[in-house]
Structure 1
Amino acid sequence: MFGLIISIIVVGLIAGAIARLVVPGRQNLSIPMTILLGIIGSFVGGFLGYLIFRNGGSFLQPAGIIGSIIGAIIVLLLYTRFSGRSGSRA
């Protein structure tokens, strides 16, 4: 169980970091937020893989590294789109 948690964190860090490199613009995310981005992206990639390929397993499953990167890019694009500045510029 401990090994699974560590591997999810490492894959999340790698996928989140690659997604931040691929998506243009500046993202003000800390390292823990980058890890969380990659972990959420892994589940998004797993869900998309389930929708496309309909292989065995449930629709809520982690993906491999490629699926995690694709999912993290999608999550990061949505994050940058919907987390605009809350204040107005004077």
Structure 2
Amino acid sequence: MEGLGWIAAIIVGALAGWIAEKIMGGDHGLLTNIILGIIGAVVLNFLLIAIVGATLGGWIGQLIVGVIGACILIGGYRAIKRA
């Protein structure tokens, strides 16, 4: 996560994963939430930088990016699982 240390990335990732879990109606554990939040934020940050040339900064910005990214990952996983 851009601009956040490891501890902050874990905290924001866990919170982002938990929020995404609630939005998408999932039932994951804490470790899965952390992983989804962090990977979701990394993937969406990469896409934002590649397409727009910038990303959201700070804790709140990264939380938003992490939630959206985690929702995309959960939706993608469900789509693959159904196929």
| Same fold, judged at TM 0.5 (above) | yes
Q: Does 1:54 align with 2:34?
A: no
* Structure (1 or 2) with the larger CA radius of gyration: 1
Alpha carbons 2:13, 2:35 under 8 Å: kept: yes
Q: Does 1:7 align with 2:8?
A: yes
Contact in 1 for aligned 2:21/2:27 (Cα 8 Å): no
Q: Which has the higher contact order (CA 8 A, sep 6+)?
A: 2
Where does the alignment leave 5 or more consecutive residues of structure 2 unmatched?
56-60
- Percent identical among aligned pairs is 32
- Distance in 2 of aligned mates of 1:64 and 1:34: 15
Distance in 2 separating the partners of 1:83 and 1:29: 16
* Counterpart residue number, 1:64: 62
Instruction: From the two aligned structures, give the one with the greater helix fraction.
Output: 2
Q: Counterpart of 1:88?
A: none
CA RMSD of aligned residues (A): 2.2
Output the CA distance in 2 between the equivalents of 1:74 and 1:36: 13
Contact kept in structure 2, 1:37 and 1:72, CA below 8 Å: yes
The residue number in structure 1 matching 2:71 is 73
Deviation readout 1:34-86 (Å, 9 max, x if unpaired): 11010101112202211331139xxxxxx7121111111101111222235xx
Aligned length: 74
